[in-house]
Chains A and B, each alone.
Chain A
């Protein structure tokens, strides 16, 4: 950080300290009260799901409802594990989500760079096409997709659900394009004067500066893949290839559901994402620190 901003920050801190000290404390209390109430409201349904996974059936629908189980019971988990190969499903979901995320981040960043920085023939029209793909419901395109996958021989393989989103991600391209446009051109000019080609510029200048949006995009891409249900449903037939959401949905029967097992399964599905987010959320904050802004 430059000396200049250090001076400023010290000046501001001093300024703050010398102003009235009573108000900040009351503000802080109110702030935390509001945040706490809403945090509880947001997390409560998830907590209910979590605790219900440890309840016997009778307690899940008990009136009046209680959050915590009276009769802690892992029957739900036992049924879930014996009914579905969660280890396998976990492995499938993980490697699919990681692969798609890693590859699509790269391909999206590349395309974003092209749209944002290279003045090429057809760029505007092509960008509109990218945007337009987001405006058609996915359920209608499933039949031609299935036929295409049939031609490729990819029905009942993971390739069918990895390759399309890894290669094409209009949303990611749109997002990253916005950020790339905000990077000052002088940087690239400087790099070019130093003799760097486009690829070098992309790798050394652009990508590092995209750390924040890449992290955010990565989280949501991973999440989207982790919870992806419709495409795996249609394209995967063999249960040893199923991803976690499919396994979880097994417990939701056509006419009657095995509630404890269902709650256990959905908790198992959600828990890893919570951990991933807990770790990754710091990246968003820290990623910005390197770009020169104070957080």
Chain B
């Protein structure tokens, strides 16, 4: 869940070092490295002590056979071969992709839409924001209880309502075609509050004078949105898309709370497979191999987004 939160960098320049170019007279003062590492010290300490070791462990394990306690044995690339040839894991990868494609745009579009609406809601805004934020703070236990009930084909009010108006009510969680979209709905429901807060913060940071100048120039609401707001918000959007994709690719909690340890093929995702393979099948090597592949995929996707930013992300100044 944590990775669904994102920042709004309305003035951001993710990954670029453009400002360096503009300052040809800038030299690197000698004390800079020291200063930098001083500021970085706490985070670096945490990184080195708690992250580097475990991460390397997890990634190197991909090349070994290990069941959690017994002896390790070198496996070379056989774990990768197993992972790539397993039809179930391939299906899980497709599920994960499908889930991301549904959830990320869904979240961002609805988040943006409601953020824009709420800007104009005046006095009632805090109340609306609170209502939209309620799902964010609902713990996964309650989320599972509530949605299992809502998705139950027999006793759910949603299914009953659909039937009342003559539409078929599918078995949301058991029907292979509807599982991933249903999970995406839960994901959007729960993530909307985050998106909303981030977009609202971003929108609020946009200087009114620019918008007012546009109005004076005779721009309609829609034109203002298209030519002023969105470009100024684009660094935020990029940031949110990077972190949301990372989060969606790693979706696990929903599958686990809805299906426990016995999720059907149509609902499994990559991280679910990782956890199952490691802890239920005692095959940590294969789990790590899968995680390593996921890691590389995410690096690739993120890299692509960062590379593409030059095309559409607008940095002022």
A residues contacting B by CB (< 8 A) are 5, 8-9, 11-12, 15, 28, 31-32, 34-35, 38-40, 42-43, 45-46, 48-49, 61, 63-65, 103, 106-108, 110-111, 113-115, 118-121, 123-124, 126-127, 129-137, 139-141, 143-145, 148, 163-164, 166-169, 171, 173-179, 181-185, 198, 202, 212-213, 216-217, 219-220, 223-224, 226-227, 229, 245, 248-249, 252, 259, 262-263, 266, 269-270, 273-274, 277-278, 281-282, 284-285, 288, 291-295
Complex CA–CA separation, A273 to B294 (angstroms) = 33
Whether B7 lies near A167 (C-beta < 8 A) is no
Pick 14 A–B contacts, CB within 8 A, sort by A. Answer: A8-B216, A35-B117, A38-B132, A49-B138, A111-B44, A126-B40, A130-B47, A141-B58, A143-B68, A171-B3, A178-B14, A216-B8, A249-B141, A288-B204
Q: Do A183 and B11 contact each other (CB < 8 Å), given the known contacts A49-B138, A227-B139, A252-B141?
A: yes
Which residues of B have CB within 8 Å of A284?
197, 200-201, 204
Whether A198 lies near B35 (C-beta < 8 A) is yes
| Option from B39, B146, B302 in Cβ contact (under 8 Å) with A111 | B39
The verdict on B263 contacting chain A, using a C-beta distance below 8 Å, is no
Report, nearest first, the 8 A-B pairs whose CB atoms are least far apart. A182-B11, A178-B9, A167-B46, A168-B46, A175-B7, A178-B12, A120-B36, A141-B54
- Chain B residue with minimal CB distance to A165? B46
The verdict on B248 contacting chain A, using a C-beta distance below 8 Å, is no
Chain B min CB distance to A66 (Å)? 10
What is the interface of chain B mostly: helix, strand, loop, or mixed? helix
The verdict on B189 contacting chain A, using a C-beta distance below 8 Å, is yes
Chain A min CB distance to B124 (Å)? 7
| Option from B7, B189, B246 in Cβ contact (under 8 Å) with A178 | B7
Q: Which of A11, A259, A284 has the largest count of B CB atoms less than 10 A from its CB?
A: A284
Complex CA–CA separation, A75 to B192 (angstroms) = 33
Complex CA–CA separation, A217 to B28 (angstroms) = 31
Whether A136 lies near B114 (C-beta < 8 A) is no
- Chain A residue with minimal CB distance to B69? A143
Besides the known contacts A132-B299, A288-B204, 7 further A-B residue pairs in the complex with CB atoms under 8 A apart = A8-B212, A32-B124, A42-B131, A64-B157, A135-B295, A284-B204, A293-B208
Enumerate B140-162 residues with CB–CB distance to A below 8 Å.
140-143, 145-147, 149-150, 155, 157, 160
| Option from A35, A121, A262 in Cβ contact (under 8 Å) with B121 | A35
Q: Which of A28, A135, A229 has the largest count of B CB atoms less than 10 A from its CB?
A: A135
Whether B43 lies near A108 (C-beta < 8 A) is yes
Count chain B residues whose beta carbon lies closer than 8 angstroms to a beta carbon of A: 115
| Option from A131, A145, A223, A227 in Cβ contact (under 8 Å) with B302 | A131
Whether A274 lies near B139 (C-beta < 8 A) is no
Complex CA–CA separation, A272 to B135 (angstroms) = 14
Complex CA–CA separation, A259 to B189 (angstroms) = 23
- B87-95, B97-105, B171-179, B270-278 - the one binding chain A: B270-278
Complex CA–CA separation, A15 to B213 (angstroms) = 12
| Option from B14, B32, B46, B246 in Cβ contact (under 8 Å) with A134 | B246
Chain A min CB distance to B163 (Å)? 12
Whether A129 lies near B2 (C-beta < 8 A) is no
Complex CA–CA separation, A295 to B118 (angstroms) = 13
Q: Do A270 and B11 contact each other (CB < 8 Å), given the known contacts A110-B43, A168-B47?
A: no
The verdict on B235 contacting chain A, using a C-beta distance below 8 Å, is yes
The verdict on B205 contacting chain A, using a C-beta distance below 8 Å, is yes
Whether B50 lies near A181 (C-beta < 8 A) is no
Which residues of A have CB within 8 Å of B146?
45, 48-49
Complex CA–CA separation, A134 to B120 (angstroms) = 35
Which residues of B have CB within 8 Å of A245?
139, 141
